[in-house]
Amino acid sequence: MAKAVALIAASALCVLALASLAQCHNEVFTVEGKVYCDTCRVLFETKVSEYIAGADVKLQCRSREDDSVTVTMTGKTNKDGYYRLSVSGDHENEICEVTAVSSPNPDCNETVPEIRTARVALSDNSGILSTVRYCNPIGFVKKESLSSCIEVLDDMGFVPQV
Ligand SMILES: *[C@@H]1O[C@H](CO)[C@@H](O)[C@H](O)[C@H]1NC(C)=O
């Protein structure tokens, strides 16, 4: 009797394990992040950075082996400067990146490679349990930096360069 129960339990576990294996390949990742305007032209976020609504972003994955494009997807930021994209499938042997493509703000539409893209891991084997993947902020650089930036950067511990 005990044996029979153990057997049933073992086979139930097996079925569960198989089911979760199969699920891996139907995975849907939610990729989220923000697009900001670097109002200090320093290539990182400060407390006076602004968030850009209606910016176009693109997510692209490329194969590590032959560099072929496996996923291309576009999105737009909401009023708070957030974008969210759903990507299905596991992309373990690929390099996935989100790029800030264009900004509707004519005063803040300059692209620079340093803050234009962010990498994102879209695989179960990346050590992240959640299927929601947060990207580093990406953005554009403002034409002229705000006058308050000197103080802001000073507060952050940056020594002004003369
Ligand atoms: C930024 O916006 C200005 C004004 O609309 C436009 O002339 C310029 O071409 C834009 N620059 C980029 C890089 O899109």
Number of domains forming the structure of the chain: 1
Q: How far apart (Å, rounded) are the C-alpha atoms in residues 24 and 124?
A: 7
- With tokens 């994209």, the residue in question is 85
CATH number of the domain within which 37 lies: 2.60.40.10
Q: Is residue 103 part of a domain?
A: yes
Can you give the pTM of this predicted structure? 0.81
CA 110 to ligand 1: nearest atom:
13
Q: Look at residue 160 in the predicted model and tell me its pLDDT.
A: 63
In order along the chain (162 residues), what is the average pLDDT of each group of 10 residues? 56 52 70 98 96 98 96 98 96 96 98 97 88 96 96 86 60
Q: Look at residue 158 in the predicted model and tell me its pLDDT.
A: 85
Q: Is residue 21 part of a domain?
A: no
Domain that holds residue 146: 27-155
Q: How far apart (Å, rounded) are the C-alpha atoms in residues 71 and 159?
A: 43
Q: Look at residue 26 in the predicted model and tell me its pLDDT.
A: 74
Ligand 1: residue of 37, 103, 109 to mutate (most ligand atoms within 8 A of CB) is 109
Q: Is residue 90 part of a domain?
A: yes
Q: Is residue 20 part of a domain?
A: no
Q: Look at residue 4 in the predicted model and tell me its pLDDT.
A: 60
Q: Look at residue 16 in the predicted model and tell me its pLDDT.
A: 52
